[in-house]
Structure 1
Amino acid sequence: MKIEKVSDRIVYSDSTFTKRLLFNEEKVLNFMLNFKPGQELPPHTHEESDLILHVIKGSGELEVDGKIQSISEGDVVYCEGNEVFSMKNNTEDNLSCFVIIAPRPIPKIYADEVKEQ
């Protein structure tokens, strides 16, 4: 068993969104995404891995395969790996999301943290 604190992974940067790993295991990848107002995650797919995103704090805008959806605290989103996914904080408040990707993608880039620059 492993226990991590989500609150320790809620870290914001003025220069870029941040990504902080919680679990990088054989079968699952889990991390926090944190956005200050105006920051965004560019469009991408997760190949053969599906994504579950839980909005922990704030609100923003999610785009999946060209369909734009507002998201807010408490929302849980499921996306299939082949769907084109992007997200942005289009509000004046910070946004933090708890993300699970399974099965864990093979390319290392998915497990790289994004930190302050």
Structure 2
Amino acid sequence: MDRDELTAWALKNGWRMIADCPSLTKPRNPKEAIVRMVFKTTVVNLEVKKPAGKWEKVSGASYAAVVADPETDVPQGLGFETIPSFNTLMRENKDAQVFSAFK
């Protein structure tokens, strides 16, 4: 997957663009990113914001190593499949986007 495909997948699955990075936010504070994908020239990194406010790289992979799962469409190679809290956070962010449309 390339940068555009990852961005499209992220926006379709509850991520939002914050500071030019697809980001997941705290459910109670939707303006503060706590997980983000940072795109470099040849790699994409997944970073998590520590309580002290510093970003820490959790995983990274070259674009060629990141592939969409044929069944779930979730990119494999960035750690989404091994860290269940990301799936929960993505679901909460997507639900918040869907329900904000009804306000």
TM-score for the superposition, normalised by structure 2: 0.32
* Higher relative contact order (Cα pairs below 8 Å, separated by 6+ residues): 1
Greater fraction of residues in strand: 1
Greater fraction of residues in helix: 2
TM-score for the superposition, normalised by structure 1: 0.29
